Structure 1
Amino acid sequence: MAHRIVTQVVVTGARVFGRAFAEAYKQAQASGKHAAGKKAAGGFAASSINIDEACKILNVKPPAAGETSVEHVMERFKKLFDLNDPQKGGSFYLQSKILRARERLEMELREVERKAASEKELQEGWKPKVYKDR
Protein backbone atom coordinates (compact mmCIF):
# COMPACT_ATOMS: atom_id res chain seq x y z
CA MET A 1 0.00 0.00 0.00
CA ALA A 2 2.81 2.46 0.87
CA HIS A 3 4.60 1.74 -2.40
CA ARG A 4 1.44 2.63 -4.28
CA ILE A 5 1.19 6.05 -2.59
CA VAL A 6 4.89 6.78 -3.16
CA THR A 7 4.57 5.82 -6.82
CA GLN A 8 1.51 8.01 -7.20
CA VAL A 9 3.31 11.01 -5.61
CA VAL A 10 6.35 10.52 -7.88
CA VAL A 11 4.22 10.26 -11.04
CA THR A 12 2.13 13.29 -10.10
CA GLY A 13 5.26 15.32 -9.28
CA ALA A 14 6.84 14.35 -12.62
CA ARG A 15 3.69 15.49 -14.45
CA VAL A 16 3.65 18.83 -12.65
CA PHE A 17 7.35 19.51 -13.33
CA GLY A 18 7.01 18.32 -16.93
CA ARG A 19 4.12 20.69 -17.62
CA ALA A 20 5.89 23.57 -15.90
CA PHE A 21 9.04 22.94 -17.93
CA ALA A 22 7.07 22.75 -21.20
CA GLU A 23 5.25 26.01 -20.42
CA ALA A 24 8.51 27.78 -19.52
CA TYR A 25 10.05 26.57 -22.79
CA LYS A 26 7.08 27.91 -24.79
CA GLN A 27 7.36 31.30 -23.08
CA ALA A 28 11.10 31.44 -23.72
CA GLN A 29 10.55 30.69 -27.41
CA ALA A 30 7.86 33.37 -27.70
CA SER A 31 10.06 35.90 -25.92
CA GLY A 32 12.99 35.11 -28.23
CA LYS A 33 10.85 35.53 -31.34
CA HIS A 34 9.47 38.82 -30.05
CA ALA A 35 12.95 40.21 -29.32
CA ALA A 36 14.26 39.09 -32.72
CA GLY A 37 11.30 40.69 -34.46
CA LYS A 38 11.81 43.94 -32.60
CA LYS A 39 15.49 44.08 -33.57
CA ALA A 40 14.72 43.39 -37.22
CA ALA A 41 11.95 45.98 -37.35
CA GLY A 42 13.57 48.99 -35.76
CA GLY A 43 17.28 48.44 -35.50
CA PHE A 44 17.26 49.31 -31.82
CA ALA A 45 15.77 46.70 -29.56
CA ALA A 46 15.98 48.72 -26.39
CA SER A 47 14.93 52.02 -27.87
CA SER A 48 11.35 51.91 -29.02
CA ILE A 49 10.93 55.68 -29.12
CA ASN A 50 9.46 57.15 -32.30
CA ILE A 51 10.48 60.40 -33.96
CA ASP A 52 7.41 62.38 -32.84
CA GLU A 53 7.93 61.42 -29.20
CA ALA A 54 11.62 62.33 -29.44
CA CYS A 55 10.74 65.76 -30.86
CA LYS A 56 8.24 66.36 -28.06
CA ILE A 57 10.72 65.34 -25.38
CA LEU A 58 13.44 67.70 -26.64
CA ASN A 59 10.96 70.36 -27.83
CA VAL A 60 12.32 70.59 -31.39
CA LYS A 61 10.70 70.48 -34.80
CA PRO A 62 10.72 67.18 -36.73
CA PRO A 63 13.77 66.81 -38.98
CA ALA A 64 11.59 66.32 -42.08
CA ALA A 65 10.91 70.07 -42.00
CA GLY A 66 14.63 70.60 -42.56
CA GLU A 67 14.86 73.23 -39.83
CA THR A 68 16.26 71.02 -37.08
CA SER A 69 20.03 70.99 -36.80
CA VAL A 70 22.33 68.76 -34.83
CA GLU A 71 23.60 71.77 -32.88
CA HIS A 72 20.08 72.74 -31.80
CA VAL A 73 19.31 69.16 -30.74
CA MET A 74 22.54 68.98 -28.74
CA GLU A 75 21.83 72.34 -27.09
CA ARG A 76 18.36 71.19 -25.97
CA PHE A 77 19.78 67.82 -24.90
CA LYS A 78 22.52 69.31 -22.73
CA LYS A 79 20.13 71.73 -21.05
CA LEU A 80 17.47 69.11 -20.26
CA PHE A 81 20.02 66.45 -19.32
CA ASP A 82 21.68 68.78 -16.82
CA LEU A 83 18.33 69.90 -15.38
CA ASN A 84 17.39 66.28 -14.65
CA ASP A 85 20.64 65.28 -12.98
CA PRO A 86 19.78 62.90 -10.10
CA GLN A 87 22.45 64.51 -7.90
CA LYS A 88 20.62 67.82 -8.25
CA GLY A 89 17.23 66.33 -7.44
CA GLY A 90 16.32 65.25 -10.98
CA SER A 91 15.18 61.93 -12.33
CA PHE A 92 17.35 59.20 -13.84
CA TYR A 93 14.32 57.97 -15.80
CA LEU A 94 13.85 61.38 -17.43
CA GLN A 95 17.56 61.57 -18.18
CA SER A 96 17.41 58.24 -19.96
CA LYS A 97 14.33 59.34 -21.96
CA ILE A 98 16.17 62.52 -22.99
CA LEU A 99 19.21 60.49 -24.02
CA ARG A 100 17.09 58.09 -26.12
CA ALA A 101 15.32 61.04 -27.74
CA ARG A 102 18.66 62.59 -28.70
CA GLU A 103 19.93 59.30 -30.13
CA ARG A 104 16.75 58.86 -32.17
CA LEU A 105 16.86 62.41 -33.54
CA GLU A 106 20.55 62.12 -34.40
CA MET A 107 19.84 58.91 -36.27
CA GLU A 108 17.01 60.61 -38.17
CA LEU A 109 19.10 63.71 -38.92
CA ARG A 110 21.94 61.57 -40.26
CA GLU A 111 19.45 59.83 -42.54
CA VAL A 112 18.07 63.17 -43.80
CA GLU A 113 21.61 64.47 -44.43
CA ARG A 114 22.52 61.28 -46.26
CA LYS A 115 19.45 61.59 -48.50
CA ALA A 116 20.20 65.27 -49.18
CA ALA A 117 23.78 64.44 -50.15
CA SER A 118 22.53 61.68 -52.41
CA GLU A 119 20.00 64.02 -54.06
CA LYS A 120 22.70 66.65 -54.57
CA GLU A 121 25.01 64.11 -56.12
CA LEU A 122 22.26 62.89 -58.44
CA GLN A 123 21.48 66.45 -59.58
CA GLU A 124 25.08 67.49 -60.11
CA GLY A 125 26.30 64.17 -61.42
CA TRP A 126 29.07 62.05 -60.02
CA LYS A 127 32.37 63.90 -59.89
CA PRO A 128 35.21 61.69 -58.75
CA LYS A 129 38.10 63.35 -56.99
CA VAL A 130 41.22 62.99 -59.08
CA TYR A 131 44.58 63.62 -57.52
CA LYS A 132 47.34 64.56 -59.89
CA ASP A 133 50.94 63.74 -59.25
CA ARG A 134 53.08 66.85 -59.14
Structure 2
Amino acid sequence: MAYRVITQVVLIGSRVLGRAFSEAYKQASASSQYQRAQAKAGNTNASGGAAAKTGMTLDEACKILNVKPPKDGKADMEDVMARFKKLFDTNDPTKGGSFYLQSKILRARERIEAEVKPTIEKAEQEAEIKSGFNPKIYKDR
Protein backbone atom coordinates (compact mmCIF):
# COMPACT_ATOMS: atom_id res chain seq x y z
CA MET A 1 0.00 0.00 0.00
CA ALA A 2 2.84 2.43 0.82
CA TYR A 3 4.48 1.91 -2.58
CA ARG A 4 1.22 2.96 -4.22
CA VAL A 5 1.10 6.26 -2.27
CA ILE A 6 4.77 6.96 -3.01
CA THR A 7 4.24 6.26 -6.71
CA GLN A 8 1.25 8.64 -6.82
CA VAL A 9 3.21 11.39 -5.04
CA VAL A 10 6.09 11.01 -7.49
CA LEU A 11 3.78 11.08 -10.52
CA ILE A 12 1.81 14.09 -9.31
CA GLY A 13 5.03 15.93 -8.41
CA SER A 14 6.54 15.26 -11.81
CA ARG A 15 3.37 16.54 -13.50
CA VAL A 16 3.44 19.75 -11.48
CA LEU A 17 7.12 20.33 -12.24
CA GLY A 18 6.58 19.51 -15.92
CA ARG A 19 3.79 22.08 -16.17
CA ALA A 20 5.87 24.70 -14.38
CA PHE A 21 8.82 24.21 -16.73
CA SER A 22 6.49 24.23 -19.71
CA GLU A 23 4.94 27.56 -18.68
CA ALA A 24 8.35 29.06 -17.97
CA TYR A 25 9.56 28.03 -21.43
CA LYS A 26 6.47 29.52 -23.07
CA GLN A 27 6.99 32.79 -21.22
CA ALA A 28 10.68 32.95 -22.13
CA SER A 29 9.88 32.18 -25.76
CA ALA A 30 7.20 34.89 -25.90
CA SER A 31 9.59 37.40 -24.34
CA SER A 32 12.29 36.52 -26.86
CA GLN A 33 9.88 36.90 -29.76
CA TYR A 34 8.74 40.26 -28.42
CA GLN A 35 12.33 41.50 -28.17
CA ARG A 36 13.05 40.38 -31.74
CA ALA A 37 9.87 42.08 -32.97
CA GLN A 38 10.87 45.31 -31.22
CA ALA A 39 14.32 45.14 -32.79
CA LYS A 40 12.86 44.57 -36.27
CA ALA A 41 10.37 47.42 -35.79
CA GLY A 42 13.27 49.78 -35.26
CA ASN A 43 12.69 50.45 -31.58
CA THR A 44 16.39 50.10 -30.92
CA ASN A 45 18.27 53.36 -30.86
CA ALA A 46 21.70 54.90 -31.14
CA SER A 47 22.78 53.34 -27.86
CA GLY A 48 23.47 50.07 -29.62
CA GLY A 49 20.85 47.83 -28.12
CA ALA A 50 20.86 49.29 -24.63
CA ALA A 51 17.48 47.68 -24.01
CA ALA A 52 19.09 44.29 -24.39
CA LYS A 53 21.89 45.23 -22.00
CA THR A 54 19.72 46.69 -19.23
CA GLY A 55 16.64 44.58 -19.83
CA MET A 56 14.19 47.46 -20.17
CA THR A 57 12.97 49.93 -22.72
CA LEU A 58 13.55 53.65 -22.54
CA ASP A 59 9.87 54.28 -21.95
CA GLU A 60 9.83 51.86 -19.01
CA ALA A 61 12.96 53.49 -17.54
CA CYS A 62 11.39 56.94 -17.77
CA LYS A 63 8.22 55.71 -16.07
CA ILE A 64 10.19 54.11 -13.24
CA LEU A 65 12.14 57.30 -12.51
CA ASN A 66 9.19 59.54 -13.40
CA VAL A 67 11.20 61.72 -15.80
CA LYS A 68 10.61 62.93 -19.32
CA PRO A 69 12.13 60.81 -22.11
CA PRO A 70 15.27 62.22 -23.74
CA LYS A 71 14.64 64.23 -26.89
CA ASP A 72 17.29 64.00 -29.59
CA GLY A 73 19.58 62.24 -27.14
CA LYS A 74 19.43 65.08 -24.63
CA ALA A 75 18.01 64.67 -21.13
CA ASP A 76 18.11 66.61 -17.90
CA MET A 77 20.60 64.33 -16.16
CA GLU A 78 20.48 66.40 -12.96
CA ASP A 79 16.77 65.63 -12.66
CA VAL A 80 17.38 61.97 -13.49
CA MET A 81 20.11 61.68 -10.86
CA ALA A 82 18.01 63.48 -8.24
CA ARG A 83 15.08 61.11 -8.83
CA PHE A 84 17.45 58.14 -8.86
CA LYS A 85 19.09 59.06 -5.54
CA LYS A 86 15.76 59.69 -3.85
CA LEU A 87 14.16 56.43 -5.03
CA PHE A 88 17.33 54.38 -4.52
CA ASP A 89 17.70 55.58 -0.92
CA THR A 90 13.98 55.14 -0.22
CA ASN A 91 14.14 51.49 -1.30
CA ASP A 92 17.26 50.62 0.69
CA PRO A 93 16.78 47.05 2.02
CA THR A 94 18.42 47.97 5.34
CA LYS A 95 15.67 50.55 5.87
CA GLY A 96 12.88 48.10 5.02
CA GLY A 97 12.87 48.72 1.28
CA SER A 98 12.93 46.27 -1.59
CA PHE A 99 16.14 45.08 -3.23
CA TYR A 100 14.13 44.24 -6.37
CA LEU A 101 12.80 47.79 -6.67
CA GLN A 102 16.23 49.20 -5.92
CA SER A 103 17.74 47.15 -8.75
CA LYS A 104 14.96 48.23 -11.16
CA ILE A 105 15.71 51.86 -10.29
CA LEU A 106 19.41 51.30 -10.94
CA ARG A 107 18.71 49.64 -14.31
CA ALA A 108 16.37 52.51 -15.25
CA ARG A 109 19.14 55.06 -14.58
CA GLU A 110 21.63 52.97 -16.56
CA ARG A 111 19.18 52.74 -19.47
CA ILE A 112 18.69 56.50 -19.63
CA GLU A 113 22.44 57.07 -19.34
CA ALA A 114 23.02 54.63 -22.20
CA GLU A 115 20.57 56.62 -24.30
CA VAL A 116 22.20 59.97 -23.57
CA LYS A 117 25.86 58.88 -23.48
CA PRO A 118 26.57 58.99 -27.26
CA THR A 119 25.23 62.56 -27.48
CA ILE A 120 27.29 63.70 -24.50
CA GLU A 121 30.45 62.09 -25.91
CA LYS A 122 29.87 63.71 -29.29
CA ALA A 123 29.41 67.13 -27.67
CA GLU A 124 32.64 66.66 -25.68
CA GLN A 125 34.53 65.73 -28.85
CA GLU A 126 33.20 68.79 -30.67
CA ALA A 127 34.16 71.02 -27.73
CA GLU A 128 37.67 69.54 -27.76
CA ILE A 129 37.98 70.09 -31.50
CA LYS A 130 36.86 73.73 -31.13
CA SER A 131 39.27 74.41 -28.29
CA GLY A 132 42.09 72.70 -30.12
CA PHE A 133 44.27 69.79 -29.12
CA ASN A 134 46.42 70.81 -26.17
CA PRO A 135 48.44 67.83 -25.01
CA LYS A 136 50.28 68.01 -21.73
CA ILE A 137 53.99 67.81 -22.38
CA TYR A 138 56.25 66.68 -19.62
CA LYS A 139 59.91 67.55 -19.72
CA ASP A 140 62.52 65.15 -18.48
CA ARG A 141 64.86 66.69 -15.96
Question: How far off is 1:118 after superposition?
Answer: 6.0
Matched, 1:59 2:66: yes
CA deviation profile, 1:19-41 (whole Å, cap 9, x unmatched): xxxxxxxxxxxx9xx8xx9xxx7
Inter-partner Cα distance in structure 1 for 2:115 and 2:58:
8
Inter-partner Cα distance in structure 2 for 1:102 and 1:42:
15
Identity of aligned residues (%): 57
> 1:84 maps to which residue?
91
Runs of 4+ with deviation above 3 angstroms: 43-46, 115-122, 126-129
**TM-score calculated relative to the size of structure 1:** 0.52
**TM-score calculated relative to the size of structure 2:** 0.49
- RCO comparison, higher one (Cα < 8 Å, 6+): 2
Question: How far off is 1:79 after superposition?
Answer: 0.4
Q: Structure 1 residues 116 and 46 mapped into 2: Cα distance closer, same or farther (>3 Å)? A: closer
**Does the 8 Å CA contact 2:93/2:99 hold for their aligned counterparts?**
yes
> 1:26 maps to which residue?
none
**Does the 8 Å CA contact 1:55/1:105 hold for their aligned counterparts?**
yes
Matched, 1:111 2:111: no
Q: For structure 2, list consecutive stretches of 5 or more residues without a partner in the other structure.
A: 1-28, 37-47
Query: Per the alignment, in what secondary structure is the counterpart of residue 102 of structure 2?
Result: helix
Q: For structure 1, list consecutive stretches of 5 or more residues without a partner in the other structure.
A: 1-30
Inter-partner Cα distance in structure 1 for 2:50 and 2:59:
17
Question: How far off is 1:114 after superposition?
Answer: 2.8
Alignment of 1:2-13 (within 5 A): none
CA deviation profile, 1:56-102 (whole Å, cap 9, x unmatched): 11111112263422x22211111000111112221111000000001
| Greater C-alpha radius of gyration | 1
Matched, 1:68 2:65: no
> 2:101 maps to which residue?
94
Q: Superposition RMSD on alpha carbons, in Å?
A: 3.5
Question: How far off is 1:128 after superposition?
Answer: 7.8
Inter-partner Cα distance in structure 1 for 2:126 and 2:55:
29
Question: How far off is 1:43 after superposition?
Answer: 5.6
Query: Per the alignment, in what secondary structure is the counterpart of residue 64 of structure 1?
Result: coil
Question: How many equivalent pairs are there?
Answer: 97
Inter-partner Cα distance in structure 2 for 1:101 and 1:82:
15
Task: Kindly provide the amino acid, as one letter, of the partner of residue 95 in structure 2.
Answer: K
